[in-house]
Structure 1
Amino acid sequence: MTGTQGEPRSGFVSDNNAPVHPDIMTALIAANEGHEPAYGADRHTARLREVIKTRFGERAEVYPVFNGSGANVIGLQAMCDRWSAVICPASAHVNLDEGGAPEKVAGLKLIAVPTADGKLTPELIEPYARGFGVQHHAQPKVVSLTQTTELGTRYTPGEIAAIAAFAHERGMLLHIDGARLANAAAALDLPPRAFTTDVGVDVLSLGGTKNGLMFGEAIVVLNPDAVRGVSYLRKSALQLASKMRYLSAQFVALLEGDLWLRNARHANAMAARLAAAVADVPGVEIPRPVQANAVFAVLPPAVIERLLRRYQFAVWDERVGEVRWMCSFDTTEAEVDAFAATVRDEMSAHAGVA
């Protein structure tokens, strides 16, 4: 995974940077044969509806969209009134990385809760679940989680069930941003419905792009009673694909068999391998548990600067020297070992200079 001459290798910057999985490309080519009805009336979308029910339950409904922000914004908007608020972690993608779209497009108030690990709990939510019936307050309507979180952590089914019960007891609903839901399922060794449908999640944004798709995410409505007008909102938010077969065919190829799980298991395994390879390097700190396909590390600024000349990765928090290394379905053991060796060498050189 090397760029042109002189460019740093890009294998650890994001699972968004990975190529399309060959099986997905094959599915796209197959879907390209002949004419199909537009706007979701095609046979591939019909098959996707069946597959989603096998994965998430008979009441599950699926709405393919172009991207994760679209899935999140439309899903939340369908769950809310114009005066509603959404409680989410401060680190949530909907809060930090969607250009204010939940506020600008959906008109929703986000209530961002500080967390240590990217995860909400009923205890953390409770101080913000207030003002019900008070006209001066945006009305809390949805709790939104990310699984796995933006900090690489994951929720157990019990943790999600507790949040769902807390929310439902107060007349609120539960949404999950599942951009990396497959990585959570692989790490938990559970089917996706075990920590979504079966524990009270109402709406799910189901990720595909980070797990081998060319493009496309999906809104999966697990509780149809929790939403209104998803089809109309998808159209008005510019997320209705005319040639939807290309979105749906990818998801069918990903979910019908075990490709989704194989891809996620491999990415998780490469992250675990990388964390283990650098854990004993003097001066390297792994500040967060490695529970999926992300590794967070704290390094000296000079080492980060030198590593960035050879590899691309995210500098997560410049103040403390925290970086993020992401692994993908196509990350190889050789790439992991070479990167870990480079980290070890750079740390050794830094210690010698110091």
Structure 2
Amino acid sequence: MDGNWFEFVAMQGIQARNAFFVIMVPLKFVPKFFKFDDNSLPPSLRAQRTLNKSRIPQISRYITENPKEYILSSLCACVDGEVKFEPSEISNNMGKLKISMDATVLINDGQHRRAAIEEAIKVNPHLGEETISVVLYADQGLKRSQQMFADLNMHAVKPAQSIKLLFNHRDEQTHITKSVIEAIPLFSEFTDFEKSSISNRSTKIFTFSSIHQATKELLSYKNNKLNTQESIQIASQFWQEVIQYIPGWLDLQEGKTSSFHLRQNYIHAHGIALQALARVGNMLLQNYSENWQNHLSKLIHVEWSRKNLAIWDGRALVAGKINKSRNNLVLVTNYIQKVLGLPLSDESQNVEEQFINTQQVKHHTYSNIKEMV
């Protein structure tokens, strides 16, 4: 700080024929120095979207719970006010950046990180001495600020859920999923670890995220006191047992069919079946812990063919396509439970009855139309 100026060591660059600067800012200085798009700014300066306040504690906890490992990408901001860059003797692109204390520094990208940093410092004041890189642009008015925000977010692509989970080495459930996949040849050979949906021509049939979600569902039963290793063992045993009673999966493993053929013709080749099987497994582990394997042999009687519309139309298929809604998941789970001779919960029974009533009305209407024609 120098008189009426904030002063930073900075690097200067050029983009679109305009200068921009990269500075390092102490975290404790971030809340005071940067304004974001909230009610403290006049309407003419509100160039950003509203904060999603549920994200702030998530990011803040990430910082405070990982003080030796957290990583924060650069903030990007516009300076509305006087800016001076004084090159050093060593290089014209390195030197001191002076920003008037009267200037407004408005964040274009990173408003949630800014708010989370503020909360994290309240929990752990020592974090305030650490720094974050900031990319600064001289302000060219509201219209340009809004355009910058649009440009910064235009090409932002969220990574697939599968790859986000795969790279999260802190999460115990992710570790369990990885270990289960490694233990089961069908999973290890036919799982896509990068994408959260399978393309028609893919040789894979499962996604990492679908196995992760299903295994998490499987192990989420009440009074589960299994440690990590025991969870891996039980989950691996369950999926190995299930595989024995789904002929299509066995054929795929033995090279007798293709992933494409299974996806086109069978319900079990889609994530909704995997999750429904996990829900059934959850019930078995909770209520039949001593002999849960015995019940799974009846899976051989499940009619998985998509052509069997009497079973799957409206239950898993809507207009001929797989529907993954919560209601459809309950209905697919119900069908498997009934084949296995397992009772439905009151909630599941209500969903089943509503489905049956809807199907009856649908068929009655269809019959009337045929008669009229």
Bigger relative CO (Cα 8 Å, ≥ 6 apart): 1
More helix by percentage: 2
Q: Provide TM-score, normalisation by structure 2.
A: 0.23
Q: Provide TM-score, normalisation by structure 1.
A: 0.24
Between structure 1 and structure 2, the one with the greater Rg is 2
